[in-house]
Structure 1
Amino acid sequence: MSHNSADRLVKMANQIGKFFAAQRHSDAVAGTAEHLKKFWDPRMRAGIIDHVAHGGAGLDEVPLQAVQKLATK
């Protein structure tokens, strides 16, 4: 995945995480993961999972944990 693609996915995931941030932490993680699962193209999900596998630079805590959750499914 190109650097620009990863940056775009990180930005989008962080925005989704911020939307759910007002909820209890575990609910925010679950909500973010569910959003990524339902609305992101499989290639986008694969890209963000790969990004996390290589350190997850730039991801906030909620989306990072959400992607980790997706990666284990």
Structure 2
Amino acid sequence: MSSENLVKMANQIAHYFDSEPNRALAVQGVRQHIQNFWTPAMRRQLTQWITDHGHDGLDAKVVEALG
């Protein structure tokens, strides 16, 4: 899977939690989803993308969840 596709998917997960008024719960939801449903290879690839490109293009909740 391309890194750009992973970024898009991560952002979609974050946007799902946009309606959660408690930011900490929203970030936890993003973190939990990525942990539960993404393979370790997908998580490593997204982490590598962040290393190479920074946080540009990623929802802040994703950045915080991966922090």
Q: Which runs of 4+ in 1 moved over 4 A?
A: none
CA contact (8 A) 1:52 1:67 kept: no
Q: 2-side partners of 1:29 and 1:53: how far apart?
A: 20
Q: Percent sequence identity over matched residues? A: 37
Match of 2:39 in 1: 41
Structure 2 residue runs of 5 or longer lacking an equivalent are: none
Cα displacement string for residues 16-56 of structure 1 (whole angstroms, at most 9, x for unaligned residues): 00111211111111110010000001100011112222313
Aligned AA for 2:6? L
From 24, 28, 38, the counterpart of 1:30: 28
Q: 1-side partners of 2:51 and 2:64: how far apart?
A: 12
Match of 1:59 in 2: 58
Aligned AA for 1:51? W
CA-atom RMSD, angstroms?
1.4
From 8, 21, 41, the counterpart of 2:5: 8
Structure 1 residue runs of 5 or longer lacking an equivalent are: 69-73
CA contact (8 A) 1:21 1:62 kept: no
Q: How many residues align structurally?
A: 65
